[in-house]
Amino acid sequence: MIMRVRRAVKEDLPLLARIEKEFSDNTWTEAQLREELESSHAFLFCCELNGRVIGFCDVHVVADDAHINELCIEPTSRRQGAAHAMMRHAIGLCDALGCSVLSLEVRSKNEPAIALYEKCGFEQVGIRKRFYQNPADDALNMNLYFNHGGKEK
């Protein structure tokens, strides 16, 4: 099994849009994904398993604040470490860019994702009641802090 995380390119967009439409809670269209690809604040990554794209991740970085906007792996390729590999990649990028925090929201009932984020060192810092619709759910706010130069965060 060969797994590789790399920056997405425009040729990936139709497949990423299909993964998004079929398997994600989000509703980004191909055009919106293209905007992400072209934005100077956004980093769109995909994960390949044996040469085939199986999922992607989108991170926004503004000044020293970073936010995970999307993370999705197609169902047949789950539980093989792909999301963890992409999160490690995102965390390494944010660290290298000198970010102080990487934040995200996750459905309170999304146990796989919460377990993944906890494994990556995120902690719950808040809750937004009924943030999600269809089905209604609260959002957990989770943060990972970086400590550059030994300063208190």
Ligand X SMILES: CC(C)(COP(=O)(O)OP(=O)(O)OC[C@H]1O[C@@H](n2cnc3c(N)ncnc32)[C@H](O)[C@@H]1OP(=O)(O)O)[C@@H](O)C(=O)NCCC(=O)NCCS
Task: Kindly report the backbone phi and psi dihedral angles of residue 146, in degrees, each rounded to the nearest multiple of 5, phi listed first.
Answer: -110, 145
Residue 16 binds ligand X (CB under 6 A):
no
Beta strands (DSSP E) in 99-149 are 101-107, 123-132, 137-145
- d(CA 131, CA 129) in angstroms, rounded, equals 5
Cβ distance to ligand X smaller for residue 52 or 119: 119
10 Å CB burial of residue 76 (0-12, 13-18, 19+) is exposed
Beta bridge partners of 60: 42, 67
| Region near ligand X per CB under 6 A, out of 7-15, 30-38, 68-76, 126-134 | 68-76
Looking at the Cβ atoms of 65 and 118, the one nearer to ligand X is 118
Q: Total residues at the site for ligand X (CB under 6 A)?
A: 20
| 108 lies in the binding site for ligand X (CB under 6 A) | no
Of residues 22 and 38, the one with the C-beta less far from ligand X: 22
The alpha-helical segments, DSSP class H, found in 75-110 are 82-96
What is the footprint of ligand X within residues 81-100 (CB under 6 A)? 81-84
Which residues of this chain interact with ligand X, rule CB under 6 A? 23-24, 71-73, 78-84, 106, 110-113, 115-116, 119
